[in-house]
Chain A
Amino acid sequence: MIRLGWSRTALKGAWEQPGGRRGLLLLALIVIVALVGPAFLPDPASQPDLIRGALLPPGFGHPFGTDQLSRDVLSRVVHGARISLSVALLAVALSATLGCLVGMVAGYFGGWTDAVLMRLVDGALAIPRLFILLLLIAVWDHIPLAALIVVLGATGWFGTSRLVRAEVLRLREQEYVGAAVALGAPRRRIILRHLFPNALAPVLVASTLAVGDVILIEAGLSFLGLGIRPPTPSWGAMILDARSTLFTAPWTGAFPGLAIVITVVAVNLVGESLRDALDPRRL
Chain B
Amino acid sequence: MSEPLLVVRDLVKHYSTGGVFKAAGPPIRAVDGVSFEVGRGETLALVGESGCGKSSVARTLVRLQEPTSGSAVFEGKNIFDLDRPTLRALRRKIQIVFQDPYGSLNPRMTVGDSVAEGLEIHRLAPRAEIPARVATLLQEVGLDPSYASRYPHEFSGGQRQRIGIARALAVEPSFLICDEPVSALDVSVQAQVLNLLVDLQARRGLSYLFIAHDLAVVRQVAHRVAVMYLGQILEIGPTEEVLANPRHPYTEALLSAVPVPDPDRQRTRILLGGEPPSPSHPPSGCRFHPRCMHPSKDERCSAEAPSLRPLGSAQVSCHYAR
Seen from chain A, the residues whose Cβ lies within 8 Å of a Cβ on chain B are: 3, 5-6, 9, 111-112, 114-115, 174-176, 178-186, 189, 193-194, 197-198, 281-283
Contact = CB atoms under 8 A, between A and B. Distances in A.
A111 B20 CA distance: 6
B105 interface: yes
A115 B102 CA distance: 31
Interface string B97-108: 011101111111
Contacts of A193: 106, 109
B10 interface: no
12 contacts: A3-B113, A5-B110, A6-B151, A115-B21, A176-B103, A178-B64, A178-B96, A183-B121, A184-B87, A197-B106, A283-B102, A283-B107
B117 A180 contact: yes
Contacts of A176: 103-106, 114
Residue of A115, A175, A178, A283 ringed by the most chain B CB atoms within 10 A:
A175
B104 A183 contact: no
Interface in B9-23: 19-21
A175 B104 contact: yes
Contacts of A282: 107
B152 A181 contact: no
B107 A184 contact: no
* Consensus secondary structure, chain B interface: loop
B106 A198 contact: yes
A184 B98 contact: no
Contacts of B151: 6, 9
* Consensus secondary structure, chain A interface: helix
B113 A182 contact: no
Interface in B166-196: 167-168, 171
Contact of B98 (A6, A178, A183, A198): A178
Contact of B20 (A115, A184, A194): A115
A179 B98 contact: yes
B219 interface: no
A184 B108 contact: no
B77 interface: no
Interface of B: 19-21, 59, 62-64, 87-88, 91-92, 95-96, 98-100, 102-110, 113-114, 117-118, 121-122, 151-153, 164, 167-168, 171
A194 B113 CA distance: 12
B121 A184 contact: yes
Nearest to A1: B120
Contacts of A198: 106-108
A198 B96 CA distance: 22
Residue of A182, A184, A185, A186 ringed by the most chain B CB atoms within 10 A:
A182
A91 B108 CA distance: 27
B108 A182 contact: no
Would you list the 8 A-B pairs with minimal beta carbon distance, nearest first?
A: A184-B91, A175-B104, A175-B98, A175-B103, A197-B108, A176-B106, A182-B62, A115-B20
Contact of B122 (A6, A112, A184, A194): A184
A189 B113 CA distance: 13
Contacts of A194: 106
B153 A281 contact: yes
Contacts of B109: 3, 193
Contact of B104 (A111, A179, A184): A179
B167 A179 contact: yes
B118 A183 contact: yes
A192 to B, nearest CB: 12
Contact of A185 (B59, B102, B113, B121): B121
B110 A182 contact: no
A184 B153 CA distance: 25
B137 to A, nearest CB: 14
Nearest to A282: B107
Contacts of B87: 184
Contacts of A178: 59, 64, 96, 98
B13 to A, nearest CB: 15
B103 A174 contact: yes
Nearest to B100: A175
B282 to A, nearest CB: 25
Nearest to B106: A176
A135 B107 CA distance: 44
Given A184-B91, A189-B121, A283-B152, A179 B164 contact: yes
